[in-house]
Every structure is written in C-alpha cells, then in structure tokens.
Amino acid sequence: MATVISAAGLTRTFQTKAGPVAAVRGIDLAVREGEILGFLGPNGAGKTTTLRMLTTLLKPTGGAATVAGHDLAADPAGVRATIGYVAQCGGVDPQITVREELATQGRMYRLPKAEAGARAGELARELGLTGLLDRKAGALSGGQRRRLDIAMALTHRPKVLFLDEPTTGLDPGSRADLWDLVRRLRDKHGTTVFLTTHYLDEADALADRLVIVDRGEVAAEGTPSALKLKHGGSIDAPLQDTFLAITGRGPSPSADTAPVAV
C-alpha cells in the first residue's frame, strides 16, 4: 500500500527569551494510504507541533516531509489542496446556517455556485446533517458542530484528513457517533486519517496503528495489540498501562501548544 505521509528528521525549535526550545527533535514516520493513524504523546511531547508542520501551519526548522505526494517545503499549496484539517477549537461561524457554512466553504475551494450547493447537500447526507441545514451553527450541539467541522474539511474530497483531538468535550454518544464516521470515511472513501487524541480508549478503538511521541521524538510505534503485548505484557492489557510503560507519563489533559518546554 502506498505511503501518503512521509517524514524524515522533522524538527522544530522555537526561539524564546529564555533561549531555544526544541519542541520536535527529529520525527520519522510513514503513514499508509487508507490508514487511521493514532498520534499520541504526553503534554509537551510535540504531537500538535508535528501536526501543525504536516498541515503547513508551521514551518519545520529541519528535516523533510511529503504529504499526498507534495513536498512540505517546496509545495505547501499542493499539500493544502489535498488535505482536510479539523482543529481542536473548530471553525464554524455561529451566526450563519449549516447550509450557508458548507456552501461558503465550497466557494472558497473555487467550486461554482451550483456545485458548491450540491456538495453541501451531499456532505449533509453523508454526515447526518440534512435535517440541520437551515439551523444556525451556533444552535448546534457539540457533536453536531464537530460533524459540521469535519464536513467542511471534506468539501474538496481530501486524500488525508487531520483530526486534532476531535472528540474533546463530547458526551459518550456523540463520541461513538464520531468514531463511526471516521471509520466510514476510511472504509467508503479510502481517506487516510491522522488522529491526535488524549483519550486512549479512542486510540485503541479507532487506530490501525499508533505512533507514540515523547520529548519530541518517536518513542514507539505499532498496532495497538502489538504495543500492548510488547510493553504491557498482554494484548488485553489496558492501553493506559502500555502508554505509561513507554513514556513514564500519562496522556495530556489538553493538547501541547507551542512553545512548550519538553
């Protein structure tokens, strides 16, 4: 299966008043097409900084990466054209309707007006938003807003979808619905999903493979079962125990934000 994300020696150092802070110290990773990758780490591990580099929101200090065949440094516009990104805080306008939000997103991707409207309807059906098209985004529940965030990220049919802690603050039912949605995107459309989360049960349930980073470097990678067997002693071991064995620290209660000392 083809590799859709590749990074070699990816680094990011921030200059602060106290001196340079190395947030990412040399990340190597490869993500296969159609894979759901769980990207985990304790607070300050460098996971969100890595995600921001891979989505062109932050320039690497060193190393190289390609995303969907586009070089991160040489062709950031090509990267952006082939990825969808859902940030932790979301990006919907509470004052406009779901239909307007989706159609506007389509127009931003230069779809003709009629095509943008048709795509809005298609995404609404795909993500269970049809009955909410004429509701203002500010009146949606947390789970509905997250589905709208993802719908917006899928407007241009990206090859890779980056999800940065997508279920934070959602109730258990909304979390389960979002898990089903992620699986459908992969199974139906072959979408590659790069997922950061601090819910280890979520990573265990969703991810085909895990990459665990600590102190700006990859500490371990493999399938959840393989990592639990190697570091937890059994494939039935809780992923929490495995995570602690690898990092010596628990998962972050909130995403690392740069610059953070690691």
Q: Give 25-50 as a 3 state SS string.
A: EEEEEEEECCCEEEEECCCCCCHHHH
Whether residues 206 and 225 fall in one domain: yes
b/e 38-68 (16+ beta carbons within 10 angstroms → b): bbbbbbbbbbbbbbbbbbbebebbebebbbb
Whether residues 194 and 172 fall in one domain: yes
Q: Does residue 10 lie within any of the structural domains? A: yes
Q: Does residue 262 lie within any of the structural domains? A: no
Q: What is the pLDDT of residues 136-155, one digit of tens each?
A: 999 999 999 999 999 999 99
Of 146-150, 165-169, 221-225, the poorest mean pLDDT is in 165-169
Whether residues 134 and 45 fall in one domain: no
pTM: 0.91
Whether residues 11 and 85 fall in one domain: yes
What confidence category does residue 262 fall into, taking pLDDT thresholds of 50, 70 and 90?
A: very low
Amino acid 169: pLDDT:
84
What sign does the dihedral 234-237-239-244 (CA atoms) show?
A: negative
Whether residues 106 and 219 fall in one domain: no
d(CA 69, CA 71): 7
Q: Does residue 155 lie within any of the structural domains? A: no
* Domain range for 118: 93-139
Amino acid 89: pLDDT:
80
Q: Residue 208 to residues 37, 55, 85, 174, 183: CA-CA distances in angstroms?
A: 6, 21, 20, 21, 11
Q: Does residue 221 lie within any of the structural domains? A: yes
Whether residues 97 and 86 fall in one domain: no
Q: Does residue 147 lie within any of the structural domains? A: no
Average pLDDT of span 163-184: 90
Whether residues 60 and 172 fall in one domain: yes
Whether residues 228 and 169 fall in one domain: yes
Whether residues 165 and 224 fall in one domain: yes
- Domain endpoint, select from 139, 170, 196: 139
The SS3 assignment for 65 reads strand
The SS3 assignment for 241 reads helix
- Domain endpoint, select from 76, 106, 139: 139
259 prior amide bond cis, ω within 30: yes
Q: What is the pLDDT of residues 200-221, one digit of tens each?
A: 999 999 999 999 999 999 999 9
Q: Does residue 198 lie within any of the structural domains? A: yes
Contact 41, 255 (CB under 8 A): no
Q: What is the pLDDT of residues 23-54, one digit of tens each?
A: 999 999 999 999 999 999 998 899 989 999 99
d(CA 43, CA 258): 11
Question: Percentage of residues in the chain with pLDDT exceeding 70?
Answer: 95
Q: Does residue 252 lie within any of the structural domains? A: no
Whether residues 171 and 231 fall in one domain: yes
Whether residues 87 and 178 fall in one domain: yes
Whether residues 28 and 113 fall in one domain: no
Structure tokens at 63: 């190393």
Amino acid 256: pLDDT:
43
Contact 5, 30 (CB under 8 A): yes
**Which value, to the nearest 10 degrees, does the dihedral of the CA atoms of residues 114, 117, 123, 128 take?**
-140
Average pLDDT of span 85-101: 90
Per DSSP, helices labelled H in the chain are 47-54, 76-82, 98-108, 113-126, 142-153, 172-189, 200-206, 224-227, 239-247
Amino acid 250: pLDDT:
61
Q: Does residue 175 lie within any of the structural domains? A: yes
- Domain endpoint, select from 71, 105, 139: 139
Q: Residue 52 to residues 86, 110, 139, 225: CA-CA distances in angstroms?
A: 11, 24, 29, 28
CATH number of residue 241's parent domain:
3.40.50.300
- Report the domain count for the chain: 2
